[in-house]
Structure 1
Amino acid sequence: MLPSNLARITNGSRYCSGVLCTPDTVLTCAHFFRDVSGTTFIWIRGKRLVYKELKIIPGTDVAVLTLPTRISIAPDELPTFGPSPLPGALTATFGLGGTTRSNSHFRVRHGRFFMRVPFAMSRDRKTKVRPAGWIFNHNAAVLGDSGGPVYSNGKLFAVQSMIMAPGGVNTHVATVALVDEAMIR
């Protein structure tokens, strides 16, 4: 079910992940769109599209892309939203990081939710995430997983934002941007 609504967003050699939340909206990370030039493509369900509208949710690392056409998808293949889970809850992050350009390959990063935090920021201070959460992934999130949906108890509650890799060492800890259904409206 979940991979059928996973999206790959590309701009040149850069890419990130996203999730189709309604037949014409994709939820992803906002930091991907910083310093982007040229055409950005969304690959979803075998289609290559150019978004019609980009909405960055102010103060967050969340972006919503409005597609130029509706994607044919069954309602039960679209995510339902839920609250951030309790500390220690199991999580699953779906992303396309570290894979070939084909969007047919995805990775599931199984983990546990640490805690909700009011604010997180990247080392270069360009990416600000609020509200945020920290998760520990048993198989570490990697570049390209950003924007991928994060689920707990079968409910979408966040998108992957940043990996914590001090000195280039991936700690398996990731910052996620907490989301809710109101963001896609």
Structure 2
Amino acid sequence: MSHAITVRLSSGRSYCSGVLISPDLTGGEATTEYVLSCAHFLRERTGEIKVGGAFFHARIRGAVRIPRTDIAVLRMDRPSPPKQLLRLSTHGAPWLAPTRTEGFGKSWHRKRERFGRVIARTPFALGRNLATFVTSAAILHNNPKAVKGDSGGPVIIGDEVVAVQSMITDPFGANTGLATVAQVAAHRRAIRAAVEALEEAY
């Protein structure tokens, strides 16, 4: 049983990260066709999206973006090998809780870990391009710092996925180590509905 559940989603030269999830969001030992990631990667993306980085390869058949936040559910064209999938949390990230963010930022071939803490929770956050909008956001301070390419990667507390990486704070190009993440608990019902819609469509 593999614990490698963080994947790389790529389209041309662009890529982001994502995490394998079970259709019922409860985790456990299983194969799966579903990936949770960031919605902003899908914006204006028209080419084929490939999946790699977790010791198998697949292609994305379809995706559903969760309204009013930077979360998307994607369905692959083949199931993953058996994995130890994590549960999607039903609670917000606790204040000062230690976190582990996994992603492929700055490394196409190797997943990296960013350790941090929850320093704030906010009802919403808006990217500087005014296009990325996150409701039920949390702010983390990470060391090592989250970077571009980590977007969509899972933010893990204990043995649960509590959020996906969304935005970094880098005024004038200087990465501050602060990251905005999209919490999953408030959108769990919409995520489950997205899985059901993809099951019906494909």
Is residue 80 from structure 1 mapped to residue 87 from structure 2 by the alignment?
yes
Is residue 64 from structure 1 mapped to residue 98 from structure 2 by the alignment?
no
Give, in whole Å, the separation in 2 of the partners of 1:108 and 1:163: 15
In structure 2, the residue matched to 1:130 is 135
Contiguous gaps of at least 5 residues in structure 1: none
8 Å contact kept, 2:93–2:138: no
8 Å contact kept, 1:81–1:157: yes
TM-score normalised by the chain length of structure 2: 0.84
Give, in whole Å, the separation in 1 of the partners of 2:179 and 2:61: 30
1:95 maps to which of 103, 108, 118:
103
Moved beyond 6 Å, runs of 4+: none
8 Å contact kept, 2:134–2:182: yes
Q: Among all aligned residue pairs of Structure 1 and Structure 2, give the percentage whose two residues are the same amino acid.
A: 37
TM-score normalised by the chain length of structure 1: 0.91
8 Å contact kept, 1:3–1:106: no
8 Å contact kept, 2:167–2:179: yes
Is residue 172 from structure 1 mapped to residue 181 from structure 2 by the alignment?
no
Give, in whole Å, the separation in 2 of the partners of 1:41 and 1:3: 20
**C-alpha deviations, 1:53-99, integer Å up to 9, x for none?**
1000011100100112222214xx10112222221110110011011
Give, in whole Å, the separation in 1 of the partners of 2:51 and 2:144: 26
Give, in whole Å, the separation in 1 of the partners of 2:78 and 2:47: 21
Matches within 5 A, 1:103-142: 105-142=110-147
Q: How many residues are paired up? A: 180
Is residue 8 from structure 1 mapped to residue 13 from structure 2 by the alignment?
no
RMSD value, Cα = 1.6
Give, in whole Å, the separation in 2 of the partners of 1:55 and 1:147: 14
**C-alpha deviations, 1:87-121, integer Å up to 9, x for none?**
1110110011011x32xx11110000012211101
Give, in whole Å, the separation in 2 of the partners of 1:65 and 1:119: 23
- For residue 151 of structure 1, report the CA deviation from its aligned partner: 0.8
8 Å contact kept, 1:26–1:66: yes
Give, in whole Å, the separation in 2 of the partners of 1:38 and 1:85: 34
* Counterpart secondary structure, 2:72: strand
8 Å contact kept, 1:163–1:174: yes
Matches within 5 A, 1:141-152: 141-152=146-157
8 Å contact kept, 2:93–2:183: no
1:131 maps to a residue whose letter is S
- For residue 2 of structure 1, report the CA deviation from its aligned partner: 8.2
8 Å contact kept, 1:86–1:115: no
- For residue 45 of structure 1, report the CA deviation from its aligned partner: 3.1
* Counterpart secondary structure, 2:161: strand
